[in-house]
Amino acid sequence: MNVTVLSLGYLGTNCYLLGGTDGCLVIDPAGEPDRVLAALGDRKLVAILLTHGHFDHVGAVRDLVAETGCDVYIHPAELGLPSAITAGPLYHTHTYGEGDRLTLAGLSFTVLHTPGHTPGSVCLCFGDQMFCGDTLFAGSIGRTDLPGGDSKTMGQTLRRLAALEGDFRVWPGHGEPSTLIEEQRYNPYL
Ligand SMILES: [Zn+2]
């Protein structure tokens, strides 16, 4: 799997383009659809995977769907978020949740439901590469004070991540990549 990182939109959200044997996946297309399309080139976009529904992670979804006809996956708990923080109704074609194991574009991944930042936040694990959205950052975590956020649930999610075994590469929704072992050792929130 090859990973391309695009920093998109005015909040500099990390959008990840994953190249598989059978096309590409895009995680959190935050905005600037033309840049995502340029990065895709002539490769087929199979699906958009959303870590959660905040406006700064979903801005290019509709344009990319209009251009490519790709599928869009989101956790169903995100669909109840107030539209002020999702920039309108969340477009999706499929939902996914805890323990789902999917193969798309020739890439297999597992879904971890990691609520706290939002009720339907997920981490997506492609082997030892974990895409965390705004659940976990290098040295920090996502805020829980927005509508749908919950610090108690976030605490349970963080305890789960703190106990997770394996040397995962961590790709967060904002900022630099890290590793799970590094975060387990040095992140004060874990
Ligand atoms: Zn967020």
Q: What is the pLDDT of residues 5-54, one digit of tens each?
A: 999 988 899 999 999 999 999 999 999 999 999 999 999 999 999 999 99
Q: Pairing state of beta strands 122-126 and 107-113?
A: antiparallel
Distance 57 CA to ligand 1 centre (A): 7
Distance 56 CA to ligand 1 centre (A): 7
The pTM assigned to this predicted structure is 0.97
Q: What is the pLDDT of residues 114-148, one digit of tens each?
A: 999 999 999 999 999 999 999 999 999 999 999 99
Which domain covers residue 124, as residue numbers?
2-186
Distance 19 CA to ligand 1 centre (A): 24
Total domain count, the chain: 1
For the domain that residue 115 is a member of, what is the CATH number?
3.60.15.10
Question: Measured over all CA atoms, what is the biggest interatomic distance in the chain, rounded to whole angstroms?
Answer: 45
- Rounded to whole angstroms, the Cα distance separating 124 from 122 reads 6
Q: What is the pLDDT of residue 11?
A: 87
- Rounded to whole angstroms, the Cα distance separating 60 from 80 reads 20
Q: What is the pLDDT of residue 3?
A: 96
